[in-house]
Amino acid sequence: MSARKKPDKPRQFSVGDSVKVNLHSGRIVDATIKAVVVEVDGETRYQVDFDRDRTAIVRAWQIVEE
């Protein structure tokens, strides 16, 4: 069994990028990044806009496709 290779650098997203996001409920939606939020602990979170008028704060691992 082979070990997973870690990516060389973390994925970077910016405002306006279109992505697919795995929501807490397990639903995958098309979304647009509206804001990049860097927490005190250094973790980056993203505010995304999806459907007609819904938003969510997601972590980088929840973004499944660019």
Q: Which fold has domain 18-65?
A: SH3 type barrels. (2.30.30)
Give one DSSP letter per residue of the chain, joined into a string: -PPPPPPSS-----TT-EEEEE-TTS-EEEEEEEEEEE-TTS-EEEEEEETTTEEEEEEGGGEEE-
**Closest by alpha carbon to 13, among 46, 43, 38?**
46
In this predicted model, what pLDDT tens digit does every residue of 13-40 receive, in sequence order?
899 999 999 988 888 999 999 999 988 7
- When pLDDT is cut at 50, 70 and 90, the band that residue 12 belongs to is confident
Residue ranges covered by each domain of the chain: 18-65
Is residue 58 scored above 70 in pLDDT?
A: yes
